[in-house]
Structure formats: structure tokens, C-alpha cells
Amino acid sequence: MISFQNLSIDFKLKEKTKLKQWIKAVTEKEKHILGNITYIFCTDDELLDINVKHLNHKTFTDIITFDYTENRKINSDIFISIDRVLENSKKFQVSFEEELHRVMIHGILHLCGYKDKTKSEAELMRRKENLALKALLQ
């Protein structure tokens, strides 16, 4: 089951049903089973607090994925900073929706086992994101 929540922001996600189907399809393509995924949309400050408290990182980020996966059944709370997504969409000159969808699927790909610490891992992650985004547009 996929659900969407907000912390203290007034944010309305568009096309929830389509996004749920897309996330499920990507998960299945990666040979995983969809468990419970909760996306929590929040502000930069809220995500920074989570980053400091839980990961001891004192930096802003666009996403934090808490992985509760067992075997191949993915379960997670995925926190996304809407402020950071908006800023990054301008920085990378893409629409807000495209950047949001990229970040959303980035979290799912991490849950499916993909990493992005090295250059080669990051390149593979980007290719997987691009394939997923292309599938969403079809």
C-alpha cells in the first residue's frame, strides 16, 4: 500500500492513483514486492531536523528513506522536502513535477538495492530513474 502525507505544509500531490500504479510497476520490474510505502512531504527545516536527529548529518537534503524492507518486500517511510525539490527543479531546469517524480522513484530504487555513493553507482541510479520517468510518461 502506498500513502501520501504532509507534515506542516499545504501540498497537494497530483495524479495519486497514476503515481501509485507507476511505483508498483517499477517495484515489480525490479523483482521486489510492494509492502507499505508512506511518502511524507515536508519543509527543508523539517527534513534537516530529521537528518540531524536520525543520521547525524547537518545538511539539507531532498529525501530521506527509512528502509524497513524484509527479504524482497519493500516497506518504508520516505520523507521529501518540497522546498528542496522546488529549488532543485530550478537548478536543473526541469519542471517541479519531473524533479518530484525523480526523487520519489529515487527512494524506491534505494529500497530495491541501488546505491549512489560511487560514480558508477550514481550513473546506474540515474539511468534507472530516467527509465522509470520515461515509463511514467507513457
Q: Give the C-alpha separation, 56 to 49, whole Å.
A: 10
What is the reported pTM? 0.93
What is the grid cell recorded at 20?
501509485
For 7-136, strand residue ranges (E) read 33-42, 63-67, 73-81
For every one of its 138 residues, what pLDDT tens digit does the chain have, with 9 covering 90 and above? 999 999 999 999 999 999 999 999 999 999 999 999 999 999 999 999 998 888 777 888 899 999 999 999 999 999 999 999 999 999 999 999 999 999 999 999 999 999 999 999 999 999 999 999 999 988
At the topology level of CATH, where does 2-137 sit? Collagenase (Catalytic Domain) (3.40.390)
